[in-house]
Amino acid sequence: MLQRLEQAKLITRRPPQRGRVLETYLTECGEELLREGDCIVDETEKRFFSNFTSRELHDFNEYLLRSIANLDFNK
């Protein structure tokens, strides 16, 4: 997967300065694509929740948090 991202010029990998971890960074092109994706997500969320009251949004978030807590894999 990283190789494909690198070939698409979305990331760059650099040799480790210490240890054996290969450092991976977003390129300018990758950062731009990330910003575009963030804008799309923001707009989608606005549309998705446009008819919710602030109380409904609060309750929805609480339900999600409780649902996530139910997935505690340490049990």
Query: Comparing C-alpha atoms, which of 23, 34, 21, 1 is closest to residue 12?
Result: 23
pLDDT for res 33: 98
Max Cα-Cα span within the chain: 52
Which domains does the chain show, CATH number per domain?
2-70 (1.10.10.10)
Mean of the pLDDT values across residues 4-17? 92
Q: Which tens digits make up the pLDDT trace of 12-57? A: 998 888 878 889 999 999 999 999 999 999 999 999 999 999 999 9
Whether pTM > 0.75 for this model: the answer is no
Query: Quick one: average pLDDT of 54-65?
Result: 97
